[in-house]
Amino acid sequence: MLNAIAIGEARVTNFSSGEDCTSTVGILRALGVDIERSPGLNGLGASLVVRGVGMNGLTEAGDILDTGNSGTTTRLMSGILAGRDFQSILNGDESIRSRPMGRVIDPLRQMGARISARDDGRLAPIVFHGGELHGIDFSQPVASAQVKSCLLFAGMRAEGTTTVRSPAPSRDHSERMLRAMGAPVIEDGSDVSITACDLSSVDVDIPGDISSAAFWLVAGIAHPDAEITVRNVGLNPTRTGFLTVLEQMGADIQIVNEHDSAGEPVGDLIARSSKLRGVHIGGDLIPSLIDEVPVIAVAAALADGETVITEAEELRVKESDRIEATVAWLRAAGGEVEERPDGMIISGVKSLHGITADSFGDHRIAMALAIAGLVAEGDVNIENASAADISYPTYWRDLESIAGVVG
């Protein structure tokens, strides 16, 4: 996304073929960016050549820009499209049209962007009508990397300084990439500021997403006889709360072959069968593991004692209500779980049993159910299993290879 508005040509390797990433490429092409795509080799992701058009080089699209199921694409592109001298319309699937977008629309309007949206500016479709942007000092009520990135992206074209203050640390992939591309990013604890700038293109080799690796790691520690290695995983400190929780639960997790790639720490992760114990998960840890909660629940269901998850109400406005969905399938599978407004309390049991459960079109629920199927007594049948394609299109193929080892 950032190379599209940079100056120069960049090569991006190991690019995911997931639907979310495909939606992003389609939008950038519609806005006039030349992107060549070639298939990856030896099981790696695709390769892209992105010819940047510069900060002000995007052109008006001839149609509605479809973000599919991607909340990240919708919110980050909002920052890039705000204040342009042409009109744009962002829309997505039914899930996107129900997810809260006021959290980016409101501060973008404060910056001077003229934006209209459904439900009094809360829901997609979102229409951008131009406007002159100026910097603001914005305090987030809840730490959100998507909101932060959206405002930083808009800030690169705004007059003055844009500062985003957060109550807790959140993912900093955007800040790292912006710095690598020459942007004047200033960080002060959980606060980050930027001023108007141009970007220089940079080649990127994308490491594996820890949110995807999480499923295999839980499969390794929750199964009674397994060892699973996941290679080339991004280990950004703002994303490793999941590993911290697994270690607190007593999981046998080892990190090897650590190195840096495009300013991001990377390594291989080895997960071995472990005797797990319940823990408390909340506070500053939540932003760093919010996407992994559905699969953490699988581990917690088989741990000794009680696992309490709090301050995770953000899960209710993801692709599904992930608190409600996780509680429902865990109960159906024989787990002991209590739903709370901001999370859940899971009491470990000796085993889970087979069920038929709906993913509700949510990729992370579908994949968590599959890991439950690896360790349950009986079959787990997943309705709407194809939801996994949104972020991990080879998931079922990879699961089949894993199941031959641990199933």
Contact status, residue 96 vs residue 46, Cβ threshold 8 Å: no
Same domain, 22 and 94: yes
Q: 205, 226, 252 — which closes off a domain?
A: 205
CATH assignment of the domain containing 366: 3.65.10.10
pLDDT digits (tens, 9 = 90+) for 323-362: 999 999 999 999 999 999 999 999 999 999 999 999 999 9
pLDDT digits (tens, 9 = 90+) for 22-49: 999 999 999 999 999 998 776 678 999 9
d(Cα 201, Cα 196) in Å, to the nearest integer? 16
Look at the chain and report how many structural domains it folds into.
2
Tell me the chain's radius of gyration from C-alpha atoms.
21
pLDDT for residue 407: 42
pLDDT digits (tens, 9 = 90+) for 198-217: 999 999 999 999 999 999 99
Same domain, 217 and 201: no
pLDDT digits (tens, 9 = 90+) for 135-194: 999 999 999 999 999 999 999 999 999 999 999 999 999 999 999 999 999 999 999 999
Same domain, 249 and 190: no
pLDDT bin (cut points 50, 70, 90) of residue 402 is confident
Q: What is the mean pLDDT of residues 376-402?
A: 94
pLDDT for residue 261: 80
Same domain, 123 and 186: yes
Which domain range does residue 316 map to?
210-406
291 a catalytic residue: yes
pLDDT for residue 404: 60
Same domain, 201 and 218: no
pLDDT for residue 43: 60
pLDDT for residue 406: 43
Same domain, 237 and 144: no
Same domain, 220 and 235: yes
d(Cα 126, Cα 115) in Å, to the nearest integer? 7
Same domain, 288 and 157: no
Name the catalytic one among 93, 172, 268, 291.
Answer: 291
pTM of the model: 0.88
| Phi, psi for 112 (deg, rounded to 5) | 110, 0
Same domain, 276 and 352: yes
d(Cα 8, Cα 25) in Å, to the nearest integer? 17
Same domain, 161 and 299: no
pLDDT digits (tens, 9 = 90+) for 271-301: 999 999 999 999 999 999 999 999 999 999 9
Same domain, 282 and 380: yes
Same domain, 279 and 152: no
pLDDT digits (tens, 9 = 90+) for 299-333: 999 999 999 999 999 999 999 999 999 999 999 99
Report the chain's mean pLDDT, rounded to a whole number: 95
Q: 174, 205, 236 — which closes off a domain?
A: 205
| Phi, psi for 250 (deg, rounded to 5) | 95, 15
Q: 205, 228, 246 — which closes off a domain?
A: 205
